Chain A
Amino acid sequence: MLGVLFGLLAATCWGFSAILVRLGLQHIRPTTGTWVSVIPGCIFVMALAVVFNWDDITSLAAIAFVWFALAGLFNFALGRFLNAVSIQRAGVARATPLFSTAPLFATILAIIFLGESVTPWLLLGTVTIVSGIALITSEQVR
């Protein structure tokens, strides 16, 4: 029950985050906005990591930082910036469902690079997602 409650709160936080980006874009560009949005997260999460996982931090292997750098590039430099651009151009209501399809792409990448298998459930999920995207984007084509 507690897990569900925390999950709901996490989803609500991300919902508010998108709304706040939409409000912020009325005043500053997505480039600077992305930079500003990374700062509090950086301080907040690093502080928690230092408090709860100090032993893990001191024993990190050097190669781990290459992977952290890669994750930082995909998640914050590309993902968060494109997220802000999409909200600016398409609006938060239409952009949010589109960039929430990340698990689909994570699965496709895992199939390509990690050798995971294609399942009927994946195909069903993909068809449902693509239909949903078609429904959202078709509104503008009419």
Chain B
Amino acid sequence: MKNIQSLIGNRGNIWLGYAAAIGAAVAYGASQTVGKHVTSEFAPPLVGTGFSLVFGFMYVSIMFHRHIPNDLRTSSRRGFLWFGLSGIASASGVTLLYFALSNAPLVVVSPVVAISPLITLTLVHFLLHKLEKITRRTIMGTVMVVLGVVIITVSKALS
């Protein structure tokens, strides 16, 4: 991994990060499309998400079986704590989204939920200012992405 990093350099490393982020967006988009089919045909959202998580856990266990036992022995426990809490935060987000959707229509909830990247930027500013620098360009770009997502989700919810 270090050899690859020295080969591509810091700029290439960041571009790989951008590619991974777009790849994640495509995967999440595909999962939303599949999820829509699951909830309309087979099961309520909570059941669908629960079983998807079980399958996800099995895939990840198989895919990364070479790293996991070694990291369990050698890595800092703090890393496990942060990632564990991240999993709880993410699952709480999904659950709260269901509560939100059961109390308000999608057209109201989707733009509210779409501001998540702006909340992340605010949290980075206050909690990670020593690790990451936020520029005006990042803020403007994030606002435009959020605006675009709101336009798409609201227009879909209204149609």
Residues of A within 8 A of B (CB): 2-29, 31-42, 44-46, 48-49, 52-53, 56-57, 60-61, 63-65, 67-83, 85-110, 113-114, 119, 121-122, 124-140
Contact = CB atoms under 8 A, between A and B. Distances in A.
A41 B53 CA distance: 7
Contacts of A61: 42
Interface string B7-51: 000010111111011111111111111111110011110111111
Interface centre among B11, B94, B141 (most CB of A within 10 A): B141
Interface of B is mostly: helix
B17 A103 contact: no
B68 A82 contact: no
Contacts, number: 477
Given A49-B46, A49-B50, A77 B63 contact: yes
A128 B56 contact: no
A125 B138 contact: no
Place the interface of chain B in its size category: 35 or more
Interface in B91-135: 91-97, 99-105, 108-109, 112-117, 119-124, 127-128, 131-135
B155 to A, nearest CB: 3
Given A2-B104, A6-B103, A27-B75, A11 B30 contact: no
A129 B149 contact: yes
B96 A104 contact: no
Contacts of A12: 116, 119
